[in-house]
Amino acid sequence: MDEIAKAVEILRRGGLVAFPTETVYGLGADAGSTEAVRRLYAAKQRPHDNPTIVHVADAQSAQRYAASWPEHARRLAERFWPGPLTLVLPRSDRVVPEASAGRDTVGLRCPDHPLALALLRAFDGPVAAPSANRSTRVSPTTAQHVREELGDAVDLILDGGPCRVGIESTVLDLSGSRPTILRPGAITQGQIQAQIGPVNVPPDEPPRGPARSPGMQELHYAPRTPAWRFTTEQLSEVLERSHGGAVLLIGPVIGVSEVAGRVVEMPSLPEAYARCLYSVLREMDRPPIAAIFIEMPPDEPAWAAVRDRLRRATRPL
């Protein structure tokens, strides 16, 4: 039997299939089955108040899982699907409440990856798929990362090689009175506004306190090694504090102290930076590296998604 047929069979009997998307690897379960979704939350150790994204093969099937399909959804799906944009809409009964953490909305996304699309077409149903990592950890961008994260907790891993985008999709809430970006991603505010007019965005440096939206708490995408972010002005302070095997990430170059003995060059363009960010963090997240220091990229719209993930992965110096 080919891999896709095997994956479909696993999903039909309530199992878990990890699959590649253009953003990160997802851990998929049948979003029409309460039991399957419960298993998914258990495998990820995901808090029950954090909704999952439901993946679909195209805009037509998305309309089965949304209770309404407004003009904004039509335009955005036509322009950006398949692609890294999740649309939050009123939820239809065909998606079990557990997949949406009990909310009456659902996040829908059509991923731009041939293996994901083949799976979704063959399954012909809604697939709940959060990133295939344990809760609060760095998202996986290769099949090997998924193996390290989840091991036996997953029934099958479809290997599609490294992910092209590297960070999670833009999440846009269309269920309220004004479209609001809940999570920045590769599809930018400007690209969305060009299609549907003004959208609200979260502040670049969110206020401290309780999470505004589920899954948006501090240190959501964190390595285990203590990780700090700093501004260019703090560079000399960082150099002072980084003795003893600490790692530095400097500007477009990630430099490493003599003790750790490693230098990783980070790309100076946001797309290329995003593509390698999680695998670099994973690589550095092991002894002898005692701390990770990351220079924040410029406060510019093109860097919004990367800055968001860096803020969640680090504490300010």
The per-residue b/e assignment along 60-76, b for 16 or more CB within 10 angstroms, e otherwise, is ebbbebbbebbebbeeb
- For ligand TXA, the binding residues in 133-172 under the rule CB under 6 A are 168-169, 171
Query: Could you tell me the smallest distance in angstroms from the CB atom of residue 126 to ligand TXA?
Result: 12
Residue 215 makes contact with ligand TXA by CB under 6 A = yes
Identify which of 123, 133, 130, 138 has the alpha carbon closest to the alpha carbon of residue 109: 130
- CA 197 from centroid of its chain's CA atoms: 25
Q: With contacts defined by CB under 6 A, name the span among 57-65, 81-89, 223-231, 263-271 that binds ligand TXA.
A: 81-89
Query: Could you tell me the smallest distance in angstroms from the CB atom of residue 107 to ligand TXA?
Result: 3
Out of 83, 111, 166, 297, which residue is the one contacting ligand TXA (CB under 6 A)? 111
Residue 314: its H or E element: none
Out of 88, 138, 192, 260, which residue is the one contacting ligand TXA (CB under 6 A)? 88
Residue 141 makes contact with Mg ion by CB under 5 A = no
Q: How far apart are CA 230 and CA 290, in angstroms?
A: 17
**Residue showing the smallest CB distance to ligand TXA in the complex:** 215
Out of 16, 53, 59, 192, which residue is the one contacting ligand TXA (CB under 6 A)? 53
- Return the number of the residue (216 or 276) whose C-beta is nearest Mg ion: 216
DSSP-derived secondary structure letter, 135: T
Non-local (6+) Cβ contacts of 203 within 8 A are: none
107 DSSP β-pair partners? 53, 88
- For Mg ion, the binding residues in 78-137 under the rule CB under 5 A are 131
